[in-house]
Amino acid sequence: MRSASRCCCATAHRRAREPGVGSVTHVVVALDSFKGSITAADAAVAVSAGVEAAVGADAAVDVVLRPMADGGEGTVAAFAAAVDGAERVPVAVRGPAGRPVESSWLRLPDGTGVVELASTSGIELLGEERRPWDADTFGFGQAVVAALDAGVSRLVLGIGSSASTDGGAGLLSALGARLRDASGAAIAPGARGLADVASVDLSGLRPLPEGGVVVLSDVTNPLLGPAGAAAVFGPQKGLDADGVARAESGLARLAALVGADAATPGTGAAGGTGFALRAWGAQLRPGAAEVADLIGLADAVRGADLVVTGEGAYDGQSAAGKVPSFVVGLAAEAGVPVALVAGRIAPEADVAAFAASLSLTDLAGSSAAAMTDPAQWLRAAGAALAARL
């Protein structure tokens, strides 16, 4: 794995004039992906281009790109950019719509396998469709099994952007668990099947690899309760108020049969997939912190005059482990101001910690316009920040 100082694939240094002539402004761009719109790497390049265009050739600016992820969409890409010799391994899985999905996992030179839920069982794979009762995590489990079959020594799993609220039942089934109803038949996929689960046999689970399993999550929610998987994330996946209550009941039923601690922070991540992985024996960790450590973000921030961070939608949940909240905390420790660029900034979102905040929706005039050409509006945001700060 690369040291932070050699993370060249995830870094671009650009100077408008030769160093040593006057002062140089150092800007770090550490954006998450704008979900379903533009990758973190492409978003960072666009913001950087806007900054450089605005300052012109007579100013000295050093822009350092550190594309980020927090366990959701773009996690595999962040590792691929940061690690020399990383190899994408194709895998075909059953996606959240029940149809085949062509995906890939990442093999690192040290034997680690990196698998993300977003590209196997993620909500973006459904497009505008929502399948709150039938989407599941089986495809994610299939990709994990493929990595195990390939002989990985360790697993790093990113579990953001789930399409389901199945408590990780699909994942557990793919790993060899047996979830049965009262008649002894396999339960239906998705949250629908949890209402009927009468027994859970984990004795057939695949053993963890020698180096263990680390799970990267962007949230700290427990499995159950008002801050749990169904109550907080269920509506995003298509559950109405009655559906949230039914899904909560199903998750509680699963938790009682599995016997793992449903109150552990992060067990509610990805519709309860964090709970299933904890039951398997995996360790849950904040995703943004793990990725930041890999790409040397702390070292880059310490030498910066400004940090630009952001994501597709900055809202009330963004403070709970998402990339912008992590970056602003890291920069605060170094005494460096942070600017926020987001596709949309919710009216209730607290942006007081940022030196400036820009919404692509506001710049473009509508969310539809912003999503049609996000790179254009990210360049405009970069130029606006350079002019302002």
Q: Does the residue 382 lie in any domain?
A: yes
Q: How confident is the model at residue 132 (pLDDT cuts 50, 70, 90)?
A: very high
Instruction: Please state the rounded mean pLDDT for residues 260-271.
Output: 94
25 plus 105 within the same structural domain: no
Q: With both helix axes pointing from N to C terminus, report the angle between 287-295 and 323-334 in degrees, rounded to the nearest 10.
A: 60
Rounded distance between C-alpha atoms, residue 353 and residue 330, angstroms: 12
**What b/e string do you get for 219-252 counting C-beta neighbours within 10 Å, with b at 16 or more?**
bbbbbbbeebbbbbbbeebbbeeebbebbbebbb
Q: Are 233 and 159 in contact (CB under 8 A)?
A: no
* Domains of the chain: total: 2
Provide the 3-class DSSP secondary structure of residue 282.
coil
145 plus 267 within the same structural domain: yes
Whole-number pLDDT of residue 82: 78
Cβ-proximal residues to 271 (8 Å cutoff; 6+ apart), any chain: 137, 162, 163, 164, 165, 166, 167, 168, 191, 229, 233, 234, 237
Whole-number pLDDT of residue 303: 86
Q: Does the residue 245 lie in any domain?
A: yes
**What b/e string do you get for 59-87 counting C-beta neighbours within 10 Å, with b at 16 or more?**
bbbbbbbbbbbbbbbbbbbbbbbbbeebe
Domain end (from 288, 314, 338): 288
Q: Does the residue 324 lie in any domain?
A: yes
36 plus 180 within the same structural domain: no
Please state, in angstroms and as integers, the Cα–Cα distance from residue 280 to each residue in 6, 207, 286, 353, following that order. Answer: 35, 8, 18, 38
Whole-number pLDDT of residue 21: 39
40 plus 175 within the same structural domain: no
Alpha-carbon torsion, ordered 232, 233, 238, 242, to 10 deg = -30
322 plus 193 within the same structural domain: no
DSSP secondary structure string for all residues of 147-205:
HHHTT-SEEEEE--SBS--STTHHHHHHTT-EEE-TTSPBPPSSHHHHTT--EEE-TTP
**pLDDT tens digits for range 144-175:** 999 999 999 999 999 988 999 999 999 999 99
36 plus 91 within the same structural domain: no
Q: Does the residue 293 lie in any domain?
A: no
Please state, in angstroms and as integers, the Cα–Cα distance from residue 207 to each residue in 33, 145, 156, 256, 277, following that order. Answer: 33, 10, 15, 22, 12
pLDDT at 10 over 80: no
Q: How confident is the model at residue 321 (pLDDT cuts 50, 70, 90)?
A: low
Cα Rg of the chain, angstroms: 21
The residues pairing with 107 across neighbouring beta strands, listed in sequence order, are: 87, 113
Domain end (from 288, 319, 336): 288
Q: Are 137 and 144 in contact (CB under 8 A)?
A: no
200 plus 237 within the same structural domain: yes
Whole-number pLDDT of residue 8: 37
Rounded distance between C-alpha atoms, residue 133 and residue 184, angstroms: 21
CATH code at position 106: 3.90.1510.10
Please state, in angstroms and as integers, the Cα–Cα distance from residue 4 to each residue in 1, 91, 111, 122, 301, following that order. Answer: 9, 30, 19, 30, 12
Whole-number pLDDT of residue 319: 67
Q: Does the residue 331 lie in any domain?
A: yes
Provide the 3-class DSSP secondary structure of residue 306.
strand
Most confident residue range from 18-32, 195-209, 346-360, 363-377: 195-209
pLDDT at 12 over 60: no
Q: Are 382 and 46 in contact (CB under 8 A)?
A: yes
The residues pairing with 63 across neighbouring beta strands, listed in sequence order, are: 27
Q: Does the residue 208 lie in any domain?
A: yes
Q: Are 173 and 138 in contact (CB under 8 A)?
A: yes
Structure tokens at 62: 């050093």
Domain containing 320 equals 4-66+298-388
Domain end (from 288, 307, 335): 288
324 plus 258 within the same structural domain: no
How confident is the prediction for the chain on average, in pLDDT? 89
62 plus 129 within the same structural domain: no
Alpha-carbon torsion, ordered 172, 173, 174, 177, to 10 deg = 80
Q: Does the residue 28 lie in any domain?
A: yes
Name residue 135's amino acid: A
270 plus 355 within the same structural domain: no
CATH code at position 16: 3.40.50.10350
281 plus 383 within the same structural domain: no
Q: Does the residue 240 lie in any domain?
A: yes
DSSP state of 32: P
**pLDDT tens digits for range 268-307:** 999 999 999 999 999 999 888 888 988 889 999 998 999 9
62 plus 79 within the same structural domain: no
What percentage of the chain has pLDDT greater than the value 90?
A: 71
